[in-house]
Amino acid sequence: MIKPINFSDISRYRSELMGLAMIFVMLFHVWMPKSNPMYGFVRCGNVGVDMFLLLSGIGLWYAWSKKPTLKNFFWRRYIRIYPAWIIMACLFYIPSFINTPGGGYSRNVPDLIANILINWSFWRIDDLTFWFIPAIMMMYTFAPAYMKLIEKHPEYRWLPVAAMVLAVMVQYYPPIHKSVGHVEIFFSRIPIFLIGINCGALVKGGRSMDGSSLWLVLLLFVMSLAMCVEFEESWRGRFPLFLERMVYIPLTVSMILLLVKILCHTPAFICRGLAFVGTVSLELYLIHIQFVLKYVRTYNLGYCLTALIMIAVSLVLAWLLHRLVAWAIGFLPKNI
């Protein structure tokens, strides 16, 4: 008899899942020739972003259920991101402004300040260097309004469906496409974030699925993974990217449910390692491309060696940044 799938295990293994998501993203960023049999699977590593957003949504519901003041809610969210972000944004955008003709992503000093504060060039010209940071901060901004809404009117839990339609409109509806089509990567990730918030109540309430539903989860996983691999191997460059991100939604949900089943039987030392990666995932995201991979790939060491060196070096730097930020935050109040 197959054991039930307990949603509470998602919270139990949240750090490990974050670690896996970050590893998927880092492997995705390492170049691999299309002739490699693993090309399609590696390119699907981008789904790690969707895993982050789903897990972040679940975590937000936990935080919201403690009934914090709105001021404290935002403070605790942004204080986790901002110190590390400010440090790395300064290290990237200031040298870029000084050394790049035309200022790089910053046309002038006000642009530079805006890039350091809110990564303005993402919203202005689709600068994808650190796109996840402004995207998640924007999602944090509207999350309380959504959570208040579904508390009072549970039927609005269907809004992720409307968000999926919005993603289509951003691509194809002329007035919207003209206005915000360049940040499609943000709008196509809103549905999975809202779904994560919706799932928060299921996870916190200890709800479960009957063991027989494992076959449904497997079916969704295989179908969505097969389609995403096909997109990457045969259709890359010939379809709007939001379409694959819509398929990422069932892939993300089914994969997380399967991963928690696997993590229940995974040796403790592996779980601790994954949890460590998850703990420094923000710092890893900020460091691994522009400050490590950018230099390692110039040696043309091949995919596996490049990936291993990038992950190893990034982990050390991320841990140091994490410790520095933790020390700095220690001087700040937990609530305001």
Q: What are the tens digits of pLDDT across the range 170-197?
A: 999 999 999 999 999 999 999 999 999 9
Is 306 in contact with 294 (CB distance < 8 Å)?
no
CA atoms within 13 A on the CB side of 174: 0
- What is the share, in percent, of the chain residues with pLDDT greater than 90? 90
Segments of 38-115 assigned E as strands: none
**Higher-pLDDT residue of 237, 56:** 56
Report whether pLDDT(324) > 80.
yes
Which band of pLDDT confidence, cut at 50, 70 and 90, is reported for residue 335? confident
From the list 185, 120, 133, 187, the residue with the least C-alpha distance to 160 is 187
Q: Can you read off the two tokens belonging to residue 139?
A: 């999602």
| Mean pLDDT, residues 30-36 taken together | 95
Report whether pLDDT(64) > 80.
yes
| Mean pLDDT, residues 3-12 taken together | 93
Report whether pLDDT(21) > 90.
yes
Report whether pLDDT(317) > 90.
yes
Cα distance between residue 281 and residue 275, in whole Å:
10
Which band of pLDDT confidence, cut at 50, 70 and 90, is reported for residue 206? confident
Is 255 in contact with 263 (CB distance < 8 Å)?
no
Report whether pLDDT(12) > 80.
yes
Beta partners for 209?
A: 5
From the list 124, 149, 120, the residue with the least C-alpha distance to 137 is 120
Cα distance between residue 14 and residue 18, in whole Å:
6
Q: Note the pTM of the prediction, 2 decimals.
A: 0.95
DSSP line for 114-147: HHHHH-HHHHHH---TTTHHHHHHHHHHHHHHHH
Q: What sign has the CA pseudo-torsion 100, 106, 107, 113?
A: negative
Report whether pLDDT(35) > 90.
yes
Which band of pLDDT confidence, cut at 50, 70 and 90, is reported for residue 237? confident
Is 328 in contact with 83 (CB distance < 8 Å)?
yes
pLDDT at 222: 98
pLDDT at 10: 96
From the list 238, 242, 237, 228, the residue with the least C-alpha distance to 173 is 242
SS3 (DSSP) at 6: strand
Segments of the chain assigned E as strands: 5-6, 208-209
What is the residue-averaged pLDDT of the chain? 96
pLDDT at 251: 98
Report whether pLDDT(101) > 90.
no
Is 167 in contact with 246 (CB distance < 8 Å)?
yes
Report whether pLDDT(1) > 80.
no
Cα distance between residue 259 and residue 262, in whole Å:
5
String of b and e for 140-149 (b: at least 16 CB within 10 Å)?
beebbebbee
First to last CA, the chain: 51
Cα distance between residue 257 and residue 246, in whole Å:
18
Beta partners for 6?
A: 208
String of b and e for 232-261 (b: at least 16 CB within 10 Å)?
beeeeeeeeebbbbebbbbbbbbbbbbbbb
Report whether pLDDT(102) > 90.
no
CA atoms within 13 A on the CB side of 52: 24
Report whether pLDDT(205) > 90.
no
pLDDT digit string (tens) for 251-287? 999 999 999 999 999 999 999 999 999 999 999 999 9
pLDDT at 334: 80
Is 323 in contact with 289 (CB distance < 8 Å)?
no
